[in-house]
Amino acid sequence: MTEPHDAVEVIIAKRGGDPLTDSQIDWVVDAYTRGVVRDEQMSALAMAILLNGMSRHEISRWTDAMISSGERMDLSAISRPTADKHSTGGVGDKITLPLAPLVAACGVAVPQLSGRGLGHTGGTLDKLEAIPGWRAAISNEEFHAQLESVGAVICAAGAGLAPADKKLYALRDVTGTVEAIPLIASSIMSKKIAEGSGALVLDVKVGTGAFMKDLAKARELAETMVALGTDAGTNTVALLTDMSTPLGLTAGNALEVTESVEVLAGGGPADVVELTLALAREMLAGAGKSDVDPAEVLASGAAMDAWKAMIAAQGGDPDATLPVARENHVVTAPADGVLTRLDAMAVGLAAWRLGAGRAALGDPVQAGAGVVWHARPGDTVTAGQPLMTLHTDEPERFERALAALDGGYDVSPAGTPYEATPLIIDRISAG
């Protein structure tokens, strides 16, 4: 086979700041997937993209090429409208767990292909695997049947979905090009567009515990992804949400499942409920169901019924007792006063070091490990009261977890004014 381009030509074009042609983009993504373009060549191109950027058209074409490297899911046979949600990841971000069954209970099908955690951010599949019997891997036939009967599926993506992304993602991780917004956006959106949902809501986190720590960069990423979804014909919006303080009161797999069930039962932390309802409203609007009030559906118990059906359909026992870590350690408040800061990154690192996360893909995780915090910024605390409880099966992990938390929270004198950052910072749409 005679190749229509060569890798060096494409690298030099982008290195010089020239826009890549459609033909160059289509070829280089396909040729990299086939092994014709080598890793070192794609590394050079990724760095050129990081340094020189891409136009909206280039990113859209690059995303199309990533999608074309694999299969597209066809959800046209599903009898109700479809909507999906993607979060860029954070600490205590268990929102998918109550959100998917809630939206399903509102009459919209949710085909949620999720991932595993890496580093300080937890993975949705890791959380659900804390439930005895639940399985992440299901066949396409099971996927469609469950989406029709239950209305919600949370599962692992199959190998056939955007295989170019899987290969390029691993390369970016070891070449200092993870931060390239065109490559982040096309990585996320190639999989989400290939998934075939009619509507997509993006939860783009910003703050110390988020991948994007800078508001301007987070906004650029959100705008880029909304444009990609719009160009592909998917009704796409994004919410910019705060991730300087961890979400809810727990970080850890079984701990977050328990908190999610509390939300479905009508309780749970106010911030988790707020974000779940905000994202649900966006998903329902995108699917043409703006007339349904998710708060009323949540209060009715219908979302809990959908949760139990969703878990049972994938082999899980929704009523089973969840794993509990064998050891715990209590961190107490150092003084009387007001908790004015609880750093999401510090909490996320502590949970990771306790065994709730993994350093490399394939590492095992502890279902019961993690952190529970007993106060949130703005709360009054007294010296010696429990501030956080650390959970792990391996007590030798406590030392490094405590080191992660050192300097990760502030208790200020009583009366110190505290102004909370809004959880939802902005909404970005194609308009």
Does the annotation count 69 as an active-site position? no
**Residue 191 annotated as catalytic:** yes
Q: Is 180 left (phi over 0), alpha (psi -120 to 50) or beta?
A: beta
* Cα-to-chain-centroid distance, residue 228: 18
5 included as an active-site residue: no
Residue that the structure tokens 């982040």 belong to? 184
Give catalytic status of residue 329 as yes or no. no
- Catalytic, 213? Answer no
224 in Cβ contact with 211 (< 8 Å):
no
- The strand pair at 386-392 and 110-114 is best described as unpaired
Catalytic residue among 144, 191, 281, 308: 191
> Of 84, 151, 76, whose CA–CA distance to 124 is shortest?
84
Tokens of 352: 């990771």
Dihedral angle, C-alpha 168, 174, 112, 263, nearest 10 °: -170
DSSP classification of residue 326: S
User: What DSSP element (H or E) covers 149?
Assistant: helix 140-149
> If you search the block for the tokens 């060569």, which residue do you land on?
6
Catalytic residue among 86, 94, 116, 353: 86
Task: Return the SS3 of 370.
Answer: strand
3-state helix, strand, coil in the chain (%, to 5): 45, 15, 40
Quote the tokens at residue 393: 């099966």
Catalytic residue among 43, 69, 87, 187: 187
Task: Write down the catalytic residue from 172, 308, 353, 397.
Answer: 172
| Annotated active-site residue in 93, 126, 165, 231 | 165
* Tokens standing for residue 91: 């600490």
Query: Which tokens go with 302?
Result: 């219908």
Contacts of 395 by beta carbon, 8 Å cutoff, 6+ apart: 327, 329
The catalytic residue positions are: 86, 165, 172, 187, 191
